[in-house]
Amino acid sequence: MSDILKDLVKILGNDKVAVDPLTIKLYSKNAVYYEGNALAVVFPETTDDVRRVVKYAYQNNLKIYPQGSASEIVGSTTPRKDGIVMNFMRMRKVKEVSYVDSYVVVEPGVRLIELNNILSRNGYMFPIDPASVKSATVGGAVNSGSGGMMGAKYGTMKDWVLGLEVVLPDEEATVLKLGGKTTKNREGYDLVRLIVGSEGTLALVTEAILRITLAPERVVTVTGFFRELEDLMRCVVEIKKSKLDVLIMEFVDDVTAKITIDTIKPKIAGEGHLLITSVSTVDEAASRVKDKLVDLYAGSGATNVVAAESMGEAEALGIFEIRRNLYPATIKMASLSLRDDEEKPYIFVEDISVPPSRLIEAVKRLREISEKYDFPMTLGGHVGDGNLHPVVWIREGDKDKMEQFNNFVLDIMRMAIELGGVISSEHGVGKVKKDGLVLSFKARNSIKALSIMRQIKRIFDPKNILNPDKMLPSV
């Protein structure tokens, strides 16, 4: 064992340091394919554990790669062999729940689903619900700036983090308590929001104070199929004008809906583009809201309309089945396209946003790009906030396709920028979208923003030991 590893064991104890190659390998991957390497994995259990490792790393120029579940898909958690993985899954206490003050104090390793299981007992929720809600941790969601299906109503992580405890990667491993427990807070620059979405490049999050909110008393959901995208968007506009409190507005394009229906044989089927709308309401109004939504769907030319007056009923009717099975259907399609059994498909989920009013154009151009590169694509997304998730797959080891894929992604990002959107909405930049960041700021004549970001990075992390080479493009 090298000196570094011996020192780490001395600092943390044997049971908090893994050095065996098979274990390290399991901590060097993310949910796409970025496979790195590392010297060791450390499992801090307290803020003090974190501090002691950071101090040592600072003195010895050892890189630290923080991670939770590593379910991200942009490469923000993958390590290199110049450093150690710091995994936060052992810091998983829910320290405080205050319904009166509407906040929780949690450690970074708590999974979002676990937090919601606790809150739901009292009718509350933490409304950030990424597709990875079962695996995503608080620390990962803070650092990725995650969003989810309810983004149209509740925004993303940046709207729900009130305060953070962080350890800085400096000589003293300084602990800072940023923000607080109140919704209103105007104490200088907003360092909390600077950390949210920083992808582990600025500081190590050891505790978070999160806002919580009441879960809706009742959720009414309606789904239907539209032959033309224009009709679907007309329906979206009508719903938005109707004073309904939209919670979820999901879309699956016609090609993808057909593939998914053929693959998984869901309870609900139809032809065309699928739109699912969930509205938050109260028990007494459920039936009225449902009728209104059904009218709006029918008025826009929807077919096979199915409505549910509660979440339970929606689940029983299978309303979310097609949307939720986008990913399994994609995997199935990918597997079918492989030449032999021992090949592995890599699934890539894109993450652009455009203003919702530009969605029709975005979908049409996405299809053109998909054809240009001959990448079969499934497409779904959050219509409510204009966030689209085209999904493609590549055979592992197919170098030509990989190169084409990079150009394919560049084209998609250029398109998003042209339509007034962004290149990353809720997944982050990591290693895959650094070029996109340059494109986006250039397009706005704001390239200096990137140099400001680099300077911020240097202030927080003078020796560049924390998650180096992530998010910020090199000069």
List residues near other proteins by CB under 8 A: 14-15, 17-18, 20-23, 25-27, 29-32, 43, 69-71, 87, 89-90, 92, 109, 111, 113-114, 117, 132, 134-135, 327-328, 331-332, 335, 341-347
Tokens for 155, please give them. Answer: 């925004």
Helix (H) or strand (E) holding 249, with range, is strand 246-252
Helix (H, G, I), strand (E, B) or coil at 276: strand
Tell me whether residue 117 or residue 303 sits nearer to other proteins (CB atom). Answer: 117
Tell me whether residue 71 or residue 440 sits nearer to other proteins (CB atom). Answer: 71
What DSSP state is assigned to residue 309? S
Helix (H, G, I), strand (E, B) or coil at 282: coil
Tell me whether residue 246 or residue 349 sits nearer to other proteins (CB atom). Answer: 349
Smallest separation (angstroms) from other proteins to the CB of 302:
28
Smallest separation (angstroms) from other proteins to the CB of 249:
22
Smallest separation (angstroms) from other proteins to the CB of 166:
21
Helix (H, G, I), strand (E, B) or coil at 429: coil
Cβ contact 460:453 at 8 Å? no
Smallest separation (angstroms) from other proteins to the CB of 29:
5
Smallest separation (angstroms) from other proteins to the CB of 18:
6
Tell me whether residue 178 or residue 205 sits nearer to other proteins (CB atom). Answer: 205
Smallest separation (angstroms) from other proteins to the CB of 31:
5
Say if strands 204-211 and 103-106 run parallel, antiparallel, or are unpaired.
antiparallel
Helix (H) or strand (E) holding 400, with range, is helix 399-418
Tell me whether residue 214 or residue 331 sits nearer to other proteins (CB atom). Answer: 331
Tell me whether residue 32 or residue 410 sits nearer to other proteins (CB atom). Answer: 32
Tokens for 46, please give them. Answer: 């307290």
Among 267, 265, 405, which Cα is nearest to 332's?
265
Distant-in-sequence, close-in-space partners of 314: CB < 8 Å, separation ≥ 6: 219, 221, 278, 308, 320
Smallest separation (angstroms) from other proteins to the CB of 30:
6
Question: Where do the H-state alpha helices sit in 132-205?
Answer: 138-144, 151-154, 191-195
Tell me whether residue 114 or residue 190 sits nearer to other proteins (CB atom). Answer: 114
Cβ contact 387:427 at 8 Å? no
Distant-in-sequence, close-in-space partners of 189: CB < 8 Å, separation ≥ 6: none
